[in-house]
Amino acid sequence: MKASDLPLYYNAVDILERNLPDRAEKVALYSPDRTLTFQQVADEVNQVGNALRALDVRAGEMVGILTWDSAEWVTAFFGTIKIGAIALGMNTLLTPPEYDYILRDSRARVLIVHQDLLPKIEPILQDQPFLEQVIVIGNAQGSLTSFNEWIAEQPTDLGPALTHREDSATLNYSSGTTGQPKGILHAQKDLPITAALWGKNVLGLREDDRTFAVAKLFFTFGTGGNLIFPWFVGASVVLYPGSPREMDRVLEMIDRFQPTVFYNSPTGYAIILAMERFAEKYDLSSLRLCVSAGEALPAPIWQRWKEQTGLEIIDGIGSTEVYHIFISNRPGDIRPGSSGRPVPGYELKIVDEDGAEAPQGEIGNLLVSGESVALSYLHQYERSRQTFQGPWLFTGDKYYVDEDGYYWHAGRSDDMIKAGGIWVSPMEVESVLIGHAAVVECAIVGRADASDLTKPQAFVVLKAGYEGSPELEQELIQYARDQIAPYKRPRWVKFVDQLPKTATGKIQRFRLRELAEALHDEEVGAAR
C-alpha cells in the first residue's frame, strides 16, 4: 500500500469502521473487564468523539490518554482521531516531572486518566498552562469528571472529521534512553500503510486471528500489533492491563483467552523460558505465531523457545519514527539471530561514518526511507536535523547485511566497543553468553582497563538456582572465548538482579556505562 492508494481526505477511524458492514456483531476486543463487539466499540468511540467536541476540542489539538490497556484506552484513541484531534498515548510508568514535561510540550487540552494513575498527575495539575479538562476512568473525586458519566448522555452517531491523509493522528513520546523524551507525530495515512505493509503482507494476519501483546498500547509496537493491524484485517484483540514483567499472568491470559498471535520482547521470552515447565502448566496450543521486537532477539532464545513450544518467533526491527517494523523475518523464512530482510515498501541502506554506502558484510549506520516515516521531533529542531535527513531516517542502529540479504543488528551507534582497535558488537557477545545454562539475560558495555583501554564488560542476570561467584565469572569468560574471537570476550562479569530498562524493554546502556565507570574507578582506587 502507498499513500496514494488512500483517498486524499482520509480518517484512520476507517480501520475500525471498515468492519461494521460485515462484522458488526463479531467480538472485536477481549479483556478481563469487558468484551465488546465491533459495533459496541464503534458506538462508544462515537460517544467519546461527541464528548470531546462538547469540550470544544478541535482538529489538530492533543488529547492525552493515560490508562492501562483497556476498552477505554481504545475508544478514547479512536474517538480522538475521529474528530481530527491527535491521540497522545502516554507511558504509564513515568514520574510527575516527566508527565509535566509531556503535557507542556504537547499542549494537551484534555487528559483521560485512570483513577489508579491519578496520584502521578495530581502534583502537577495546578500549574498546567494548557490542560483544561481531566476525565477519570473509575472513581472521580471533587471537580473531576467520570469517564462513564462524561459519555453516558452522548449520542452514538458521529461522522468522521474531514481530515487530510497527511494530517497528524497520533503522538508518541520515545522512551527516552538518553535526554528528554522525543515527541513523534504520525499522520492518518501511516496507520493503514504500516498495517498493510507488515501486519498483512509480511506477518500474514487474517480475519480469524486473535492477537495478544505484552507490549502496551502506549508503545507503537503494542498499538500497531495489537490494535491497528488486527482490526485492519478484521481480527480480534486481547488486552492485558497488567505488568509486562509478570509473565505468569501473561501465560494465564493466553490460557484463558486463547490468542493465535503473541507479541513479546526478547526479555519477556527469556523470562518465560526461565520458568519451570511453563509449556506444561499453561495451554499455549492456540498460538500459531510468536513475534518479537523492541531489541534484537538472540539466536539462543529463539532456539530454546522453538524446542520447548514448537513455535518459531518472528523477529524484526522497527521504531516509533517509522511507526512500526521495517525489517522482518517472515513465517517460513527465518534466520535466527538476524532481523530478517527489508519489508517491501521501505528502502534501506547501510553507510559508513562518512556517509558512503558500506560494503556488504561491513558494519555501518542503518538508514531507512518510507512513506510512514515521521517528519521531525516535536519542538526539537537540532535533534530533528540529525535524525531526519531528507528522505532518510538515521535510525541510530549499527547493522551489516549478509550475502543472502539478511540484516544483522550490531548494536546502537553509541554502544559499539572498540577493543584492541577493532570494533566489537555488544549483540554478538550477548548472544553467546545467553547460550550459557546459567544466564537469563545480559548486556555488554565498554569499560576502561588499568591502562585506560576499552574492553567489554558483561552485566549478567542469572537463572534461579545459580549464584554469582568468581568461579562462575571465569567460566562465563572462558565460555565466550571458546565461541568468539578472544578480543571480543568480556574481561569482567558483574552479576546483577536485573538490567535497567525503559518502559518498552530497551536496555538503558548509559546506566550500565555509568556503573562500569564506577567499577573501574573502584578498581583503580584499590590498586593505589
**Tens digits of pLDDT across the chain (528 residues):** 899 999 999 999 999 999 999 999 999 999 999 999 999 999 999 999 999 999 999 999 999 999 999 999 999 999 999 999 999 999 888 888 889 999 999 999 999 999 999 999 999 999 999 999 999 999 888 888 999 999 999 999 999 999 999 999 999 998 644 457 889 999 999 999 999 999 999 999 999 999 999 999 999 999 999 999 999 999 999 999 988 778 999 999 999 999 999 999 887 888 899 898 999 999 999 999 999 987 778 888 899 999 999 999 999 999 999 999 999 999 999 999 999 999 999 999 999 888 899 999 999 999 999 999 999 999 999 989 999 999 999 998 899 999 999 999 887 776 777 675 566 778 888 988 999 999 999 999 989 877 666 789 999 999 989 999 999 999 999 999 888 778 789 999 999 999 998 766 778 888 999 999 999 888 877 766
Predicted structure pTM score: 0.83
DSSP notation for 313-376? EEEEEE-TTTSSEEEE-BTTB--TTS-BEEPTTEEEEEE-TTSPBPPTTS-EEEEEEETT----
C-alpha–C-alpha distance, residues 314 and 336, integer Å: 9
Judging by beta carbons within 10 Å of its beta carbon (0-12, 13-18, 19+), is residue 460 exposed, middle or buried? buried
Sign of torsion over alpha carbons 245, 249, 255, 259: negative
Q: In this structure, what C-alpha cell is assigned to residue 359? A: 560494503
C-alpha–C-alpha distance, residues 95 and 101, integer Å: 10
Cell 497527511 belongs to residue? 166
CA atoms lying within 13 Å on the CB side of residue 35 = 7
Model pLDDT, residue 503: 66
Model pLDDT, residue 177: 44
63 and 100 Cβ atoms separated by less than 8 Å: no
Model pLDDT, residue 270: 84
Structural domains of the chain, with CATH: 7-187 (3.40.50.980), 414-527 (3.30.300.30)
Among 343, 398, 339, 393, smallest CA distance to 367 is for: 393
State phi, psi for 363 to the nearest 5 degrees.
Answer: -75, 135
